[in-house]
């Protein structure tokens, strides 16, 4: 027995050396994740660690125990990374945020805000209403181009639609938020009226094709049911579709777009306000590379995933009721390669300077296998 215990002591000594060596690497990874806005948990990486390393076992009797051992090690690693990231945020983000605000508030128009589409789009209108008429703007082709430009410091902020009061969440924006690890720093709600735009002299019986964003078609579907023979052709942006039919100069083509686009591209409004919901609003988010938190921030967005087991979502949602926090939205998005498993996006009222809010977020993060704070910002009331 004594000999066996001595052998175990020697093994434990080597294990501690290896543990320390592993955690030193974990700290380096935490620094890299902070600098590149990566989430702490990479579920696919952890699955690879489990499957690859348990294959090294000669005695398969230990398979389950080895998985538990590795899971414990990875849980400890995540905890250390979280502590390290909090240190980075406390030391660096506060200083960077104060410096950034000083620059932006003292030097007008030093920043560039990007949007998807062309001039005359609803995204541009939301940008102008948020930043002001004198804001420097940059239009980009696709939603993802806005995220890439922000990530690569080509712009300072981005404005994108995330939700419509008639058709719900815009899935592409939710997916890109998770993919790029950027933050929501503000929002703007915009009343959206869709109009049927044509070149001058066009009559309704001339139209054969209509171009617009799929969301515009959805929000105007009652109108198009009365014109079932028209071919509806999806376009990346409502304003781009207006510009397209202006260039085509064909009476057989129409676009669904804004009144501003009609003015900008010298088109006639053949039918106005064709959206079926006359209280049709789109919520736009303003994204940035860093968290920007002030005392008037009253809305929080988070993203998480949980184990695919009964009661796990309930365990998260109960924290809002127990802490008297008002949840304003929940949206789910499928996890690729994980059938019937989801990421959850939740908006709720609160400020991160409130201790109750901080504790609630800690509890949610503890019960999640993936967690990311998307932002704390001032909500825009309609």
Cα separation, 163 vs 45, in Å, equals 32
Nearest CA among 37, 143, 70 for reference residue 375 = 37
Using an 8 Å Cβ cutoff, are 190 and 285 in contact?
Answer: no
d(CA 95, CA 210): 51
What is the rounded distance in angstroms from the CA atom of residue 137 to the CA atom of residue 238?
18
Q: Give the distance from CA 288 to its chain's centroid.
A: 11
Candidates 114, 148, 154, 106; CA nearest to 131 is 114
Give me the long-range contacts of 314-317 (CB less than 8 A, separation at least 24): 315/367, 316/344, 316/364, 316/367, 316/368
CA distance 167 to 151: 29
- Distance between CA atoms of residues 168 and 178, nearest Å: 18
- 231: helix, strand or coil: strand
Of 167, 202, 282, 360, catalytic: 282
Mark whether 282 is an active-site residue.
yes
The SS3 assignment for 203 reads: coil
Cβ atoms < 10 Å from Cβ of 27: 14
Listing DSSP states for 302-322 in one string gives: EEEE--SSTTHHHHHHHHHHH
For residue 121, the 8-state DSSP code is: S
Clarify whether 284 is annotated catalytic. Answer: yes
Q: Tell which phi-psi region holds residue 330, choosing left (phi > 0), alpha (psi between -120 and 50) or beta.
A: beta
Locate all alpha helices (DSSP H) within 152-255, ordered by sequence. 171-180, 214-219, 221-225, 238-248
How do 231-234 and 209-212 pair as beta strands? Answer: parallel
Tell me the catalytic residues. Answer: 282, 284
């Amino acid at each position: 027995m004594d000999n066996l215990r001595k052998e175990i002591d020697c093994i434990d000594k080597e294990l501690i050396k290896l543990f320390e060596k592993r955690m030193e690497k974990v700290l380096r990874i935490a620094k890299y994740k902070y600098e590149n806005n990566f989430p702490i948990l990479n579920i696919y990486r952890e699955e690879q660690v489990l499957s690859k390393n348990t294959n090294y076992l000669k005695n398969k009797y230990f398979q389950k125990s080895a998985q538990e051992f590795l899971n414990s090690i990875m849980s400890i690693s995540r905890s250390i990374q979280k502590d390290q990231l909090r240190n980075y945020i406390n030391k660096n983000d506060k200083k960077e945020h104060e410096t950034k605000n000083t620059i932006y508030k003292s030097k007008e128009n030093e920043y560039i805000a990007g949007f998807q589409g062309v001039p005359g789009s609803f995204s541009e209108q939301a940008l102008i209403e948020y930043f002001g008429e004198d804001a420097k703007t940059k239009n980009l082709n696709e939603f993802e181009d806005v995220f890439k430009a922000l990530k690569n410091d080509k712009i300072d902020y981005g404005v994108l639609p995330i939700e419509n009061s008639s058709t719900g969440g815009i899935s592409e924006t939710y997916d890109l938020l998770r993919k790029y690890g950027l933050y929501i720093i503000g929002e703007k709600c915009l009343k959206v009226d869709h109009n049927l735009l044509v070149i001058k002299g066009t009559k309704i019986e001339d139209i054969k094709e209509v171009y617009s964003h799929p969301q515009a078609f959805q929000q105007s579907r009652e109108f198009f049911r009365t014109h079932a023979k028209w071919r509806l052709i999806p376009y990346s942006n409502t304003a781009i579709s207006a510009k397209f039919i202006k260039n085509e100069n064909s009476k057989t083509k129409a676009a669904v777009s804004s009144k501003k686009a009609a003015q900008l591209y010298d088109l006639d409004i053949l039918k106005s306000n064709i959206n079926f919901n006359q209280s049709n609003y789109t919520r736009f988010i303003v994204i940035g590379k860093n968290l920007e938190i002030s005392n008037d921030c009253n809305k929080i967005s988070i993203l998480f995933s949980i184990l695919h087991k009964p009661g796990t979502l309930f365990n998260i949602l109960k924290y809002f009721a127990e802490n008297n926090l008002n949840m304003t939205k929940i949206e789910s998005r499928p996890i690729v390669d994980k059938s019937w498993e989801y990421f959850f996006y939740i908006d709720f009222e609160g400020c991160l300077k409130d201790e109750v809010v901080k504790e609630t977020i800690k509890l949610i993060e503890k019960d999640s296998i993936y967690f990311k704070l998307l932002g704390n910002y001032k909500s825009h009331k309609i």
